[in-house]
Amino acid sequence: MNINKVTLYEVVLPLKVPFRTHRGLLKERPVIIVEIEDIEGTTGYGEVTAFPTPFYTAETINTGWHMIKDVIIPSLSFEMLNEPSDFPEQVAFIQGNQMAKAGFEGALWDVYAKQRGLSLSKLIGGVREEVEAGAVLSLTNQITRDVNKLLSEGYKRFKLKVEKGKEEEMIASVKDVYPDLPIMFDANGMYDVHDIERIKSFDSLGLLMIEQPFRAGDFYLHQQLQDRMDTPICLDESVQSFDDAVQAITLKSCQVINIKISRVGGLTEAIKIHDYCKSHNIPVWCGGMVETGISKAHNIALSSLPDFVYPGDLSSSTRYFDKDVIEPFIEVQHGGITVPTSNGIGFSLNKEYLDQLMGKKYEYHL
C-alpha cells in the first residue's frame, strides 16, 4: 500500500444537546481521527470512537491514543501491508482494544479504495444505492417532540434508551401517539437473571427487538431469555469478534446482531460477521457510536451489504453536531442516505474546522 505517513488528531466536538443513557451523560464528543497517507499523497481516514470513560467497553479515548501511538504503529511491518485485511493479522497479538484497531484499519480501507479508484461500498461488495436511516433517542423528557422531528425527516426506525422500571411508560409515551411506529429499546446490559420474567412481559409491547438485555459475554442468559419470548433479542456489546458471533448463533442467544465496526475491531471482521450471519439467516443492522461523519461514512458502506435488513443507527451529520468534520455533510432524505459512489468513503476532511477542534496531534513518518 506504500504508506508514507500516519497522523493522529484528537478532537472534541460540542454536542447540540447532551446525550443521556442510564450509564451517564455525554456533553461533548471526543474522538481520534486517524489519517494515513501513501507515497503519492493519497489520504484515508478512520475514527476511534471510544468514549472518555469505559462505560461501553473497556477502552477509552486515552487508551486508544496510547495503543495506536505506542503499540500499533511501532509493531507494524508497513511494507507487508498489501491490503487492509493484512492489518488484523499483524495486530492479532494485541488483546482487545478493538476500537483502536478499527480506527486505524478504517483509514487503511479508505486509502486502499482510493488507490483502486473505487468507492468503499463497491470495494467490499455493497449492493445498495441507498441505506435506510434509523435514530437513537437518548433519555429525555422530550421523546415525543424528538420523534415528531425525526419522523418529519423520514427516519425509518427508532431506538429508545430506557431506564429500568420505566420501560413501559417510556415506550407508551411514543406508542400512544404513534401506535405503528417501529420501536426497539437498548438495555445496554442493565438487567440480570432476576429480571427474566419482567423482560418476558415486554412481548406485549410489540417491539421490533430488545437490544443487549444482559451484560456483555453472557450468552447463556440471552439464550434462556430468547427461548422464552417471541420478541427478537439483539446482541450488541456481547459480540466483539467473529468468534463471539459464531458462539451467539450456535447457542441461539439471539435472533438479530448489531454490527459496529469499532466494537468488532474493524471492517475486515465486520464483513466476516455479516457473511456468517447471512449464511445462517440472522439479520443484522449497523450500530452507531455518536460519531463524526468519518465513522458514519464507513458505516454507510458497510450497511450497503445485503444482510443489513434493518435500518441502522445511520443519521445525518447534523443529528448530534451543528457542524461535522467532513465535507459535504451526510444528509437524510425521505428516510434514506445515498451511498457515495466517489472513491474511498466519499467525503473529505474539513481541515480548517479540524484545527479549531484539535486538542493534540501526532505524526509518524516512515
- Map out the domains of the chain with their CATH numbers: 3-117+348-365 (3.30.390.10), 122-338 (3.20.20.120)
- Please give the pLDDT value at position 142: 72
Active site residues: 161, 260
Residue ranges of the chain whose pLDDT lies below 70: 20-24, 138-141
Type of residue numbered 102: A
Whole-model pTM? 0.94
- Please give the pLDDT value at position 247: 98
- Please give the pLDDT value at position 141: 58
Quote the distance between the C-alpha of residue 210 and its chain's center. Answer: 17
- Please give the pLDDT value at position 122: 98
- Buried/exposed 195-219: b ≥16 CB within 10 Å, e otherwise: bbeebeebeeeebbbbbbbbebebb
- Please give the pLDDT value at position 360: 95
- Please give the pLDDT value at position 17: 80
H or E element, residue 167: helix 167-175
Q: Are strands 210-211 and 233-235 parallel, antiparallel or unpaired?
A: parallel
For residues 201 and 203, give the distance between their C-alpha atoms in angstroms, rounded to a whole number. Answer: 5
Which grid coordinates are listed for 286? 449497523
- Please give the pLDDT value at position 19: 73
